Chains A and B, each alone.
Chain A
Amino acid sequence: SAVISQKPSRDICQRGTSLTIQCQVDSQVTMMFWYRQQPGQSLTLIATANQGSEATYESGFVIDKFPISRPNLTFSTLTVSNMSPEDSSIYLCSVDLARSTDTQYFGPGTRLTVL
């Protein structure tokens, strides 16, 4: 496995503002992913963060709302822009340590509350 950290662990934000979530891995990984888990729900993939190219977004998620950066093989950020209370959720990054196994390991998550 790998050690995956996320910052912040939680935040309370005002409507209309933006929050950037950081994900750091202790080893180089090819694939990094961002998920959202709304209260009582399962995980929904937002996007795949590709190193050296634009992120690949899932249906229903757009770059203007959730811009993603992937400057190197150990780090990624997800920004939640122009937040509304509907964005209140847990945001999780995950990594695939070796493409051949396609197994994902999750960071501890960021709990976001939008007032």
Chain B
Amino acid sequence: QKEVEQNSGPLSVPEGAIASLNCTYSDRGSQSFFWYRQYSGKSPELIMSIYSNGDKEDGRFTAQLNKASQYVSLLIRDSQPSDSATYLCAVNPNNDMRFGAGTRLTVKP
């Protein structure tokens, strides 16, 4: 079982829709969770971090964490073509970050 699993996609949504990105992790002791956005040819950029169960909102982005289910998600509201990128889920169980394979998101105008 991979430590961090994501659907590779591609996920395609129309402009203005909600994009939902999902991630599961295997280390039940993990306490820190992150979403990074990576444009083609660029390095990962931190979007959100979440540490507690529930929702955390930042602008159009909402991260959701459920430690009992070992599940973390990212919702992007009012998706824009500029949101088209690969989204990486990362989990940091022991100060050694583990990344999922990423989900490629395409937002169509």
Q: Are B99 and A42 closer than 8 Å at their CB atoms? A: yes
**A25 and B46 alpha carbons, distance in the complex (Å):** 17
Residues of A within 8 A of B100 (CB): 42
B34 within 8 A of A: yes
**A64 and B100 alpha carbons, distance in the complex (Å):** 28
Q: How many residues of B contact A (CB 8 A)?
A: 19
Q: Give the contacting residue for A48; candidates B49, B88, B90, B96; CB below 8 A.
A: B96
**A41 and B101 alpha carbons, distance in the complex (Å):** 6
**A92 and B44 alpha carbons, distance in the complex (Å):** 9
Q: How many residues of A contact B (CB 8 A)?
A: 22
Number of A-B contacts (CB under 8 A): 44
- Docked complex: A40-83 residues within 8 A CB-CB of B: 41-43, 45, 48, 58
**Chain B interface SS verdict (over half):** loop
B17 within 8 A of A: no
B43 within 8 A of A: yes
Known: A92-B43, A103-B34, A109-B43. A31 touches B95 (CB 8 A): yes
Q: Are A107 and B43 closer than 8 Å at their CB atoms? A: yes
Q: Give the contacting residue for A42; candidates B42, B95, B96, B101; CB below 8 A.
A: B101
Which B residues have a C-beta under 8 Å from some C-beta of A?
32, 34, 42-46, 49, 88, 90, 92, 95-102
Contacts A1-B46, A45-B98 aside, 19 further interface pairs with beta carbons under 8 A come to: A33-B97, A41-B101, A42-B100, A43-B99, A45-B96, A48-B96, A58-B96, A92-B44, A102-B95, A102-B97, A103-B32, A103-B34, A103-B46, A103-B49, A104-B46, A104-B90, A106-B45, A107-B43, A109-B43
